[in-house]
Amino acid sequence: MMRIFDRTRRTRLFVALLLSAAIVLVTIDYRTHGNGPLEAIGRGIMTVIGPVQQAVTRTLRPVGDFLAGFTQVPSLKAEIIKLEQENALLQQREHQVTDIARENEELRKLLGIGHRFDLKTVTVRVTGVGPSNFENTVFIDRGTAEGVRRDLPVISGEGLVGRVVEASAHSARVLLVIDPSSAVAARLASNGQTGVISGKGGEQVQFDLFNVDAPVSLQDEVLTSGYRGGVYPAGIPIGTVARLDPKGSALTRRVWVRPYVDFTGLDYLLVVTGTGATR
């Protein structure tokens, strides 16, 4: 009886010690603002786990894809209907695009712009996703040794993906634009009205336009606005306006943007290490 009592007391003491240690860690993390020894340990763990994660992901990618497909079956039917509608719309637009492309080519010549995006990039592959449901991050297979460093923008063929928030020698962590802590300076392609895109964790991101009376309508394209000293270069496509909140008494006009990028199926990405001008 006495031994059971002792064991219970020892367990309680052990748990109290663990909880105290955890609270000390929370305090250290808050005081160092994510730039202290804990971040260095995190980078160390990434260095150890990164290669294992890459090997597992590459070997078991078919299993992961199967599981991902299996869990997405209910939404596939709706997706097919949506894609058929989009296809019809795109066929319609194709005819318009030929004309716009010709006009664009002429304007490019006029302005002397060689390329719309003259970016210096590193091709990376996604090796894993963040373990928490409270954060939207992915891990990539390139790090500081390959020129990937903190605060570099990450894009895909469709548009803006996010930015690097932590980099070890051969792997890095990317914060996606849909994450609640992400903020991107953006503008409407149609009239240049600027604002800030913030993630909400869901499929759509929030776009707060600085001008309350800014003219905005559904399907308007949203691009990064870029500014001196900013993280993202100007002109990277983000998505299209999907929902308009009614004008209220707020200081900004709030609309919702559906990103071009499908964040559930990220694979190959580009880390922007510089622009043509800075090369």
Q: What is the binding site for another protein (CB under 8 A)?
A: 10-11, 14-15, 18-19, 21-30, 34, 38, 41-42, 45-46, 48-49, 52-53, 56-57, 60, 63-65, 67-68, 70-71, 127-137, 139, 165-166, 173, 175, 178-181, 200-204, 264
Which of 245, 237, 202 lies closest to 220, judged by CA? 237
φ, ψ for residue 225, nearest 5 deg? -95, -30
Between residues 225 and 263, which has the closer beta carbon with respect to another protein?
A: 263
φ, ψ for residue 6, nearest 5 deg? -65, -40
The answer to whether 153 and 185 have CB atoms below 8 angstroms apart is no
The answer to whether 207 and 187 have CB atoms below 8 angstroms apart is no
Q: Least CB distance from residue 17 to another protein, whole Å?
A: 9
Between residues 118 and 135, which has the closer beta carbon with respect to another protein?
A: 135
Please give the helix or strand (H or E) that residue 103 lies within, else none.
helix 73-111
φ, ψ for residue 263, nearest 5 deg? -75, -5
Between residues 68 and 80, which has the closer beta carbon with respect to another protein?
A: 68
Q: Least CB distance from residue 12 to another protein, whole Å?
A: 8
φ, ψ for residue 204, nearest 5 deg? -105, 155
Between residues 165 and 234, which has the closer beta carbon with respect to another protein?
A: 165
Between residues 10 and 102, which has the closer beta carbon with respect to another protein?
A: 10
Q: Least CB distance from residue 18 to another protein, whole Å?
A: 4
CA–CA distance, 254 with 101 (Å, rounded to integer): 32
Q: Least CB distance from residue 113 to another protein, whole Å?
A: 37
Between residues 147 and 180, which has the closer beta carbon with respect to another protein?
A: 180
Between residues 41 and 250, which has the closer beta carbon with respect to another protein?
A: 41
Q: Least CB distance from residue 72 to another protein, whole Å?
A: 8
For the four alpha carbons of 183, 275, 269 and 262, in that order, the dihedral sign comes to positive
**Between β-strands 172-176 and 119-129, what pairing exists: parallel, antiparallel or unpaired?**
unpaired
Q: Least CB distance from residue 49 to another protein, whole Å?
A: 6
Q: Least CB distance from residue 101 to another protein, whole Å?
A: 36
Q: Spell 23-62 as b/e; 16+ CB within 10 A means b.
A: eeeeeeeeeeeeeeeeeeeebeebeebbeebbeebeeeee
Between residues 34 and 248, which has the closer beta carbon with respect to another protein?
A: 34
Q: Least CB distance from residue 250 to another protein, whole Å?
A: 19
Rg, C-alpha atoms of the chain: 23
CA–CA distance, 271 with 267 (Å, rounded to integer): 13
